[in-house]
Structure 1
Amino acid sequence: MKLGVFPPVFKGRLHDARTATSIGRWLGAAFALCFVTGLVSHFMQHPPDWLANSIPSRPSWGYRLTQGLHVASGIAAVPLLLAKLWAVYPRLFGWPPLRSVKHGLERLSVAVLVAGSVFELATGLLNTAQWYPWPFSFVPVHYAVAWLVVGALLLHVAVKAPEITAHWTRRSAGTQALPAQDGPDRRSFLAAVGAGVGAVTLTTVGQSFTPLKDVLLFAPRHPDEGPQGLPVNRTAAAAGADGITAEEYRLVVTGPQPYTLTLDELRALPQHEVELPIACVEGWSKSARWTGVRVVELLERAGAPAHARVRVESLESRGGYRVSELGQGHARDPLTLLALRVNGEELHPDHGYPARLIAPNRPGVLQTKWVGRLEVLV
């Protein structure tokens, strides 16, 4: 950039439409994947009534895959967004600032798109570390801004469609107007951006894709670290559930034929073992062997009808997710357990002792710990 001149004159190469379009394709793909998987996560965590009984329980690893992709694509979008902003920032100094209504719409869409994108990626990264240095609730605001970003992105693409089309491929008409000598530098720049994306993905995705856990350098969670080899987001002490004893524990099951069970009575019921992952919204996941009583057998004993949903209540004294609901599919799935043991050991208090819910294809935040009540909803 040439200083002392207004508007500034940029002398750097590669701040052109071809470079911006090339990076934009990758960034658009990352945003699309992140948005779609984010919608999946949101509706699985907060399903409307019309959807609650339709959320599938299979494949059992479904949420692990979608949430892993959500966090991985969001992290990959960070270097892509930085590269995209580097390619286009000289246009911020274009003069005059508003040349037409179309130009004004373009600038408005870009302002909203950039601000919203930076907000989404920054707050999403901080969420993976469970650090919330802001006064608002993360989930609803993150969800609302995601729609704002998508709307701004669609408007931006519509306004820039002719330019995007002209520079979409090497043989596009617009490419002929660009200096031929920029080709090698552009390819080197794009290769460097691709290497950066690969590096941040490779060194963080192991928190969900455990074959790569040995190169997990920058993710805030390691899938092997925690009591009984499983990570923990919230301890029993933090939830106010660290004083539960076997002698005092009671499981209350309501329904047409309500009943109550002690921990010894739960242990005496037929026990089943399943292998299921804990898959958390922060992006980490880990499979384990869980042993316990099938929820469907507890419901049948209570006389619950086949279409019933179940409200699961925790004994924790504080926490935003002390109550969750199981739709019909999850409640009747034989893989859904009220687990008493993990990996052959009695549950650690931080993993929900004396009993916790474990169900297939379900967000970890809804795998309720310290379960004290199952309420049949008809």
Structure 2
Amino acid sequence: MRVPRPPRLPRLPRLPALAPPTFSGRLHDARTATSLGRWLGAAIAVCFVTGLTSHYLQHPPGWLADVLPSRPTWGYRLTQGLHVASGIAAIPLLLAKLWTVYPRLFLWPPMRSVRHALERLSVAVLVAAAVFQLFSGLLNTVQWYPWPFSFVPVHFAVAWLLVGAVVLHIAVKYPEIRAHWSRRSPGTLELPAADGPDRRSLLTGVAAAVGAVTLTTVGQSFTPLKRFDLLAPRHPDHGPQQLPVNRTAAAAGLAGVSTVHWRLTVLGKDSYQLTLDELTALPQHTVTLPIACVEGWSKSADWTGVRVRDLLERAGARPGSAVRVVSLEKRGAYRVMEMGSDYAGDPLTLLALRLNGQVLSLDHGFPARIIAPNRPGVLQTKWVTRMEVM
């Protein structure tokens, strides 16, 4: 008896061999990448230095708290404005740089030597860190956080990772960068002369894009350009009493404040309490100070209130004392704030009761808020109810 043969399975079609893609487009060359890299590197350097300044002013370690200066009054406004402006300007630079170098991502074999492996590693970390930093920072300016982690510590940590990747990348690519830094650089490689006009056109277009995004956003902090403030999430004149607000009273869980029951408590050697009428009856001082927020907007205003150092002296505080300030809001990372001695003792630091000649609106911290020079906006505590001599 013959055993029937099993049916023959159809032969699968043979897949074509995969080959790395080839690129014939122009301007994906080292000279163009180096030209864009200079601009991008400068923007990242400014963004990193000003970001460190912002972080340590906002979250000073204990040893630094009494060292941070309260002058110049416009210091934080300048550094944070530069931080956000340079970060936004770096976005079109990064996109142009990635467009120039992306064919190198498909080089085969991916690692030809130890030096080449380091180069590829530095590029991978550099691109990932740069994309994360710039776009997460951009989302922070509009206060949108579509991620489960805390923005500030992660943004700070990745900033160091980005700078380390930049340093490693420059070290590995230094011979090529040096060869293409300028037309007069020793060892400059000859490239097709026909690429010159196209390269200039590309760089001109990128410069125009950087100028456009800067011009339409920097007015939120550099108020002489506020009429061009079209793309920034804040306009310096829009908000209660012609001043923007980040955290409203409703967001803080405050439907209103009863002046009948509200008291300012100052704790120290000679603790005391004041009603709003008693606080208003104390000597009032008016100062012109900017309020500058980490999201990049800032504006100067006239603030009227009682000097913090006068309130602390009345509580028996010694010269050079720091202060802890507590808000009425029940939740929030900044409902409790500490000021070092330089801020607390500065005659410009006020417990403000009025803004531009008007009683503070609830969204601006009624009945009383802190205003201090050279200080991040998140630390200008609103709805103050208690001050503690430290």
TM-score norm. by structure 2 comes to 0.94
Q: Which moved more, 1:180-189 or 1:194-203?
A: 180-189
Instruction: Output the CA distance in 2 between the equivalents of 1:181 and 1:207.
Output: 42
The residue aligned with 1:313 is 326
Which residue of 308, 311, 316 maps to 1:298?
A: 311
Q: Deviations over 1:180-211 (max 9, x none)?
A: 22111111111111111000000000000011
Instruction: Output the CA distance in 1 between the equivalents of 2:110 and 2:34.
Output: 22
Q: Which amino acid aligns with 1:370?
A: W
The residue aligned with 2:264 is 251
Matched, 1:123 2:136: yes
Q: Which amino acid aligns with 2:279?
A: L
Matched, 1:136 2:156: no
Q: Which moved more, 1:135-144 or 1:234-243?
A: 234-243
| Structure 2: gaps spanning 5 or more residues | 1-16
Matched, 1:225 2:238: yes
Q: Deviations over 1:39-67 (max 9, x none)?
A: 00000011011100010000101000000
Q: Deviations over 1:146-203 (max 9, x none)?
A: 1111111110000001111111112124434211221111111111111110000000
Do the aligned partners of 2:256 and 2:362 also contact (CA within 8 Å) in 1? no
Which residue of 170, 177, 187 maps to 1:164?
A: 177
Matched, 1:280 2:289: no
Aligned-residue offset at 1:102: 0.8
The residue aligned with 1:91 is 104
Q: Which moved more, 1:345-354 or 1:251-260?
A: 251-260
Do the aligned partners of 2:28 and 2:103 also contact (CA within 8 Å) in 1? yes
Q: Which amino acid aligns with 2:334?
A: Y
Matched, 1:351 2:332: no
Q: Which amino acid aligns with 1:243?
A: G
User: In structure 1, the residue corresponding to 2:177 is in which secondary structure?
Assistant: helix
The residue aligned with 1:206 is 219
Instruction: Output the CA distance in 2 between the equivalents of 1:197 and 1:5.
Output: 39
Instruction: Output the CA distance in 2 between the equivalents of 1:138 and 1:309.
Output: 28
Q: Deviations over 1:239-276 (max 9, x none)?
A: 02232111111001011111111100000000000011
Aligned residues: 374
Q: Deviations over 1:331-368 (max 9, x none)?
A: 00000000000000000000000000000000000000
User: In structure 1, the residue corresponding to 2:100 is in which secondary structure?
Assistant: helix
Matched, 1:184 2:197: yes
Specify the structure having the higher radius of gyration (Cα).
Answer: 2
Aligned-residue offset at 1:307: 2.1
Which residue of 343, 352, 374 maps to 2:387?
A: 374
Matched, 1:28 2:41: yes
The residue aligned with 1:147 is 160
Q: Deviations over 1:313-340 (max 9, x none)?
A: 1011221110111111100000000000
Which residue of 188, 192, 208 maps to 1:175?
A: 188
Instruction: Output the CA distance in 1 between the equivalents of 2:208 and 2:125.
Output: 28
Q: Which moved more, 1:326-335 or 1:234-243?
A: 234-243
Instruction: Output the CA distance in 2 between the equivalents of 1:209 and 1:70.
Output: 13
Q: Deviations over 1:78-104 (max 9, x none)?
A: 000001001100101111111011111
User: In structure 2, the residue corresponding to 1:252 is in which secondary structure?
Assistant: strand
The residue aligned with 2:249 is 236
The residue aligned with 1:263 is 276
User: In structure 1, the residue corresponding to 2:45 is in which secondary structure?
Assistant: helix
Instruction: Output the CA distance in 2 between the equivalents of 1:114 and 1:174.
Output: 28
Matched, 1:39 2:66: no
Q: Which amino acid aligns with 2:116?
A: H
Instruction: Output the CA distance in 2 between the equivalents of 1:239 and 1:95.
Output: 56
Instruction: Output the CA distance in 1 between the equivalents of 2:363 and 2:103.
Output: 52
User: In structure 2, the residue corresponding to 1:213 is in which secondary structure?
Assistant: helix
Superposed CA RMSD in Å reads 1.0
Identity of aligned residues (%): 75
Q: Which moved more, 1:156-165 or 1:239-248?
A: 239-248
Matched, 1:68 2:67: no
Do the aligned partners of 2:328 and 2:385 also contact (CA within 8 Å) in 1? yes
Q: Which amino acid aligns with 2:110?
A: P
Would you tell me which structure has more helix in proportion to its own residues? 1
Instruction: Output the CA distance in 2 between the equivalents of 1:360 and 1:248.
Output: 30
The residue aligned with 2:125 is 112
Q: Which amino acid aligns with 2:295?
A: E
Q: Deviations over 1:218-237 (max 9, x none)?
A: 11111111100011111111
Instruction: Output the CA distance in 1 between the equivalents of 2:322 and 2:181.
Output: 50
Q: Which amino acid aligns with 2:335?
A: R
- Describe the shift of the 1:180–1:5 C-alpha distance in structure 2 as closer, same or farther (beyond 3 A): farther
Q: Which amino acid aligns with 1:70?
A: H
Q: Which amino acid aligns with 1:116?
A: A
Q: Which amino acid aligns with 1:22?
A: S
Instruction: Output the CA distance in 2 between the equivalents of 1:151 and 1:175.
Output: 27
Q: Which moved more, 1:241-250 or 1:45-54?
A: 241-250
